[in-house]
Structure 1
Amino acid sequence: MENIRNFSIIAHIDHGKSTLADRLIQFTGVCNERNFQDQILDNMDIERERGITIKSNAISLPYRAKDGKEYILNLIDTPGHVDFSYEVSRSLASCEGVLLLIDAAQGVQAQTLANLYLAMEHNLEIIPIINKIDLPSADVDRVLEEIDSELGLDPDKHIKCSAKEGIGIEEILEAIVERIPPPKGDTSNPLAALIFDAKYDSFRGTIIHCRVFEGSVKAGDIIKFMYNGTTYKVEEVGHFLLTRTKREKLSAGDVGYIIAGVKTVADVRTGDTITLQDKPCSQPLPGFKEVKPVVFASIYPIASDDYQDLADSLEKYKLNDASFIYEKDSSAALGQGFRCGFLGLLHLDIVQERLEREFDLSIILSVPSVRYRFTLKDGKVIYVDNPAHYPDPAEIAKGEEPYIRAAMMLPERYLGTVMKLCMEKRGVSSNMTYTGPGRVELSYEMPLAEVIF
């Protein structure tokens, strides 16, 4: 266990997370040149087409450090978009440290800060890395200043690299070994493993991705899900290399997968604890915060006969996307369907595309809306996210809508235009600070509905 390191790569959108993951994979020799392709961990077509990461992906990298020891580095590549920040927070629960990438040309951005706070909440070791130093517009000194003033990290501990050119990769691997602590836990304790993701395989049932915190699990063991008490017999356990690789057992500190012939999709919940039936752990591991959707829309099948297919597909899809929620809904014009909650418009777009591609469905999506709160004259409070359920105006005492606090970092020259845009969206300025020469941070409070439409 001393030789295991679990770490994540976090950063703003397009600061080079997946490219750095590619270089680390190449450097440690997991993938040969012939099979290599860019964004190698992004295994969905939609991720490659858009050039973004949607799902966190795990991989185990074998590495011989300069001290002569063999280490297993479990890397989790994470998305950068705010719509998928729930993916990031789940990945961080399985790690002891993070690589915080910062673009040498763009500097510290909104998601850099948001992801840093997530890492701090989990008390992780943070290694700041300045990426893209090969760009002509790179300004390393300014970024070092921002690391100190905006992130509050020690700029002396940074590492410079260019993931594209392969500069500084060995220094990063050495820093992971030296600075990120090994996982804690004891293999002799009862099994406690946290489910951080899952996906459905039509041949093997549900494949559970988990991080083992205590104890060990091997094929033949009877495992129990603590959320609902169901039990299953383990068929196979293993690690993630580029493909799933079978292992004899998973022990405390490992990140891997468990296949136990789980055909009932609803039994597996992300954030649940797995333990052994005959030697259970005393209490479940702290799971994940329940996520709050902000955008709502209804999904209906084009042909009403496809309703059951849509219901089954949504259940399987939810396994792989824990931030997606849905409930039954019906419309006079479109028949039976589902009212769904999303974390943003990009999330909505991705869900629609994945349902059409992966499950071969033809669906109609209603116009997205937000959730309003109405207090009626009789004192009753109701929440409405569907225009069809709007109460009688004569009965409403007051209506409220969701507001957001938007923090925007921008170059000073765009200040006037951005302020004008926020005012048009019914925004109210609450704060403005100069974070550095020529950089402004603006805070605005504005209605969520204005941001969406």
Structure 2
Amino acid sequence: MYADTSLLRNVAIIAHVDHGKTSLVDKLMYQSGLYRSEELDRRAGGQHGLVLDTGDLERERGITILSKNCAVTYEAADGDTYRINLIDTPGHADFGGEVERVLTMADGALLVVDAFEGPMPQTRFVLQKALACGLRPLVVINKVDRPDSRPDEVVTEVFDLLSDLGADDEALDFQTVYASAKEGWAANSLDDERVDMRPLFEAMVEWVPPPRFADPTANTQLLVTSIDYSDYVGRIAIGRIFGGKLEARQRVAVIDRQGNVSNQQILQLLAFEGLERKEVKKVEAGDLCAVVGLDPINIGDTIADAGKPEALPTVTVDEPTLHMTFRVNDGPLSGRDGKYLTSRQIGDRLERELRSNVALRVEPGETMEQYRVSGRGLMHLGILIENMRREGFELCVGKPHVVVREIDGQKQEPIELLVVDVPDEHQSSVMSLLGDRRAELLKMGYKTGNSGFVHMEFSIPARAMIGLRSRLLTATQGNAVIHHTLHGYETLRGAVPHRTAGVLIANEPGPVTAYSLDALYDRGSFFVKPGDEVYEGQVVGENCKSGDLVVNVVRGKKLTNVRAAGKDDNSQVRPVREMSLEACLEYIDDDELVEVTPKTIRLRKIMLKESDRRRASRQAGS
């Protein structure tokens, strides 16, 4: 495949969440002639512009969680046909492990930036990683057809960001392409004719260099950056060939992270063509491919020449910033919904996740039924829990805590860069809320075209971010636009406020009744509705005051032969407070758990019986 590396381009597409990166790739594939629009829609499950978002969670949330590879061809004006390998990377910092490892396959970066929002926190994150890999950015100002777009100012902001990140002169002299992925056109300037994506294809061919470190005469070296799995052929290693070539049925040496060497044989060699993988006989240096038949094989391993094995530098990934406890679901309703309930099954699932999720860490917990799972953020761990739930697992997870490092004898905590855009009238509320949480204001101002909204940037401890989003949205009546990413590590800033309101705890098992909720109407808001099954120790609502309150939500009306003046239909029941998985993880306290099953998400106390909680409280007080 493509022995002439001068006609090969490996391009990573990086962007902040929802800046149009995946939609842009869809248009490039369509206009390359590989697929018709109807075929792309079919592959996207009827959701136009989401063909690369293959998972259910990716389509539901509109974000990229796992990196994807595809390849398109482009015939230039001089008649040469170029093969362009496109690598779609996640835009959220919580999935930074995906970004860090797949950038090693690229020789250039397509930086997609919203024409109104400009560079955002995660733009800084992914761009910093690209520059660290020596990739020169090609800037695409997307969504210039928005009525509030400000492309010229955004180009200046991108330059300032590159300067802040210490980019060299070559990177600062970036090329800019203006585009609308939704409309399917790109242009070299705002005054050019807007027809198709050809200007972007031309820019990639001219601006992105041919594969670096691609010596076809050297010994074979391929760095495994992704692992796929097939029920038919087992593990599939995906990566880039840095030296030599690979052939089907070739004997190779697999070198793992510890330097151990095992001799194996390739069964199949697959090259990327559009969204498909096509079986080929040979792949040359500089190209990307998938290798079938090697086991054991893991991310970071090197596939090398069997006669002279030499390892490539392994993939380095930033350490986790958040950890929580995964444990067996020991609640009274366990086993009703799920298929996988035991600690062994949970441990095996986490072990499988470690093979492909390089940013995850799993350690034994305090007991045999617990695991300490560490990740890059609440969304990173939340996606793992949601996937396990959909696969049929039942488990309980504890309150998330930040990972505190000891650096030069000092305890240091992760600090987030928080960006908030709010209407003028809510500015003081946001400042007050963040001031209580040890946040420091870095920048404040207005963006042109967004009159009435103030733009603020803060540095804030990562532990203060837990539960902050819901409070910010409440304080701003849902008008706040919030983004954050890891900024660095600093000395501990001191205590931050915890949840002030107590919770309502069920004292009896059974179905919830409207009669009981009516009697508790003024006690607070509820997480359950009439007919829901509850058990003793389950958190059924939030108390309107501080301190926990044990309540009876299953009490029924006494049946007598005396006609009542009113009817049960007049019972007042507050609308149920819907809580997503991430909202539950942010909400719980140290003595609470989130119970996750395929059909239900519940909140509960670790100690279900009130007598046990009181005894533990007395012992803690003494």
Query: Which TM-score bucket, shorter chain as reference?
Result: 0.7 to 0.9
Tell whether the 8 Å contact from 2:416 to 2:462 is kept in structure 1 after alignment: no
* Unaligned segments of structure 2, at least 5 residues: 42-48, 164-170, 187-196, 330-334, 468-622
Match of 1:25 in 2: 29
- Relative to structure 1, the CA distance from residue 90 to residue 439 in structure 2 (aligned partners, 3 Å threshold; closer, same or farther) is farther
- Relative to structure 1, the CA distance from residue 269 to residue 77 in structure 2 (aligned partners, 3 Å threshold; closer, same or farther) is same
Match of 1:90 in 2: 101
- Relative to structure 1, the CA distance from residue 219 to residue 435 in structure 2 (aligned partners, 3 Å threshold; closer, same or farther) is farther
Match of 1:257 in 2: 290
Q: Equivalents in 2 of 1:105, 1:72: separation in Å?
A: 32
Task: State the 1:426 CA deviation.
Answer: 2.5
Out of 343, 354, 358, the position equivalent to 1:307 is 343
Deviates more, 1:209-218 or 1:236-245: 236-245
Give the 5 Å matches for 1:441-452.
Answer: 442-444=457-459, 446-452=460-466
Count of residues in Structure 1 that have an aligned counterpart in Structure 2: 419
Task: State the 1:434 CA deviation.
Answer: 6.2
Match of 1:14 in 2: 18
1:246-277 alpha-carbon deviations (Å, 9 max, x no partner): 11122110111101242xxxx43322222122
Amino acid at match of 1:427: A
1:72-96 alpha-carbon deviations (Å, 9 max, x no partner): 1000011111101221122211111
Match of 1:196 in 2: 225
Tell whether the 8 Å contact from 1:144 to 1:155 is kept in structure 2 after alignment: no
Out of 244, 262, 265, the position equivalent to 1:215 is 244
- Relative to structure 1, the CA distance from residue 277 to residue 406 in structure 2 (aligned partners, 3 Å threshold; closer, same or farther) is same
Tell whether the 8 Å contact from 2:251 to 2:265 is kept in structure 1 after alignment: yes
Higher Rg = 2
Out of 2, 5, 8, the position equivalent to 1:4 is 8
Give the 5 Å matches for 1:22-421.
Answer: 22-37=26-41, 38-152=49-163, 157-168=175-186, 169-184=197-212, 185-227=214-256, 228-241=260-273, 242-262=275-295, 267-281=296-310, 284-302=311-329, 306-331=342-367, 336-357=369-390, 359-372=391-404, 400=411, 402-406=413-417, 408=419, 410=421, 413=424, 416-421=428-433
Tell whether the 8 Å contact from 2:439 to 2:458 is kept in structure 1 after alignment: no
- Relative to structure 1, the CA distance from residue 285 to residue 419 in structure 2 (aligned partners, 3 Å threshold; closer, same or farther) is farther
Amino acid at match of 2:386: E
- Relative to structure 1, the CA distance from residue 220 to residue 403 in structure 2 (aligned partners, 3 Å threshold; closer, same or farther) is closer
Task: State the 1:244 CA deviation.
Answer: 2.1
> Helix, strand or coil for the counterpart of 1:161?
strand
Task: State the 1:447 CA deviation.
Answer: 3.2
Match of 1:388 in 2: none
Tell whether the 8 Å contact from 1:192 to 1:214 is kept in structure 2 after alignment: yes
Task: State the 1:24 CA deviation.
Answer: 0.6
Tell whether the 8 Å contact from 2:97 to 2:317 is kept in structure 1 after alignment: no
* Unaligned segments of structure 1, at least 5 residues: 376-380, 382-398
Task: State the 1:205 CA deviation.
Answer: 1.5
> Helix, strand or coil for the counterpart of 1:256?
strand
- Relative to structure 1, the CA distance from residue 296 to residue 18 in structure 2 (aligned partners, 3 Å threshold; closer, same or farther) is same
Task: State the 1:418 CA deviation.
Answer: 3.7
Q: Equivalents in 2 of 1:301, 1:156: separation in Å?
A: 52
TM-score normalised per structure 1: 0.85
Deviates more, 1:416-425 or 1:168-177: 416-425
Q: Equivalents in 1 of 2:131, 2:341: separation in Å?
A: 49
Deviates more, 1:177-186 or 1:112-121: 112-121
Q: Equivalents in 1 of 2:289, 2:25: separation in Å?
A: 18
- Relative to structure 1, the CA distance from residue 328 to residue 114 in structure 2 (aligned partners, 3 Å threshold; closer, same or farther) is same
Taking every aligned residue pair, what percent have the same amino acid on both sides?
30
1:126-152 alpha-carbon deviations (Å, 9 max, x no partner): 111110111111122222332333334
Q: Equivalents in 2 of 1:374, 1:111: separation in Å?
A: 26
TM-score normalised per structure 2: 0.63
Q: Equivalents in 2 of 1:259, 1:218: separation in Å?
A: 11
1:63-114 alpha-carbon deviations (Å, 9 max, x no partner): 2112211111000011111101221122211111011111112122122222
1:312-349 alpha-carbon deviations (Å, 9 max, x no partner): 22222222211111122254xxx523211011011111
Q: Equivalents in 2 of 1:146, 1:290: separation in Å?
A: 28
1:263-318 alpha-carbon deviations (Å, 9 max, x no partner): xxxx433222221222323xx22222243111111222436963333232222222
Tell whether the 8 Å contact from 2:8 to 2:82 is kept in structure 1 after alignment: yes
Amino acid at match of 2:224: I
Deviates more, 1:407-416 or 1:134-143: 407-416
